[in-house]
Amino acid sequence: MAKANFAKDQLKSYVERVERLEEEKTALAGDIREVYAEAKGQGFDTKIMRQVVRLRKMDSHEREEHDALLDLYMSALGMAS
Distances (CA, A) of 63 to 26, 29, 68, 79: 29, 25, 9, 20
Q: For position 35, what pLDDT does the model report? A: 98
Which pLDDT value is given to residue 32? 98
Q: What tens digit of pLDDT does each residue of 12-69 get? A: 999 999 999 999 999 999 999 999 999 999 999 999 999 999 999 999 999 999 999 9
DSSP 56-77: HHS-HHHHHHHHHHHHHHHHHT
Q: Is the pLDDT of residue 4 over 90?
A: no
CA distance 4 to 47: 51
The predicted pLDDT at position 81 comes to 66
Read out DSSP for 15-35? HHHHHHHHHHHHHHHHHHHHH
Q: How high is the pLDDT of residue 50?
A: 98
pLDDT for the residue numbered 45: 98
In eight-state DSSP terms, residue 54 is H
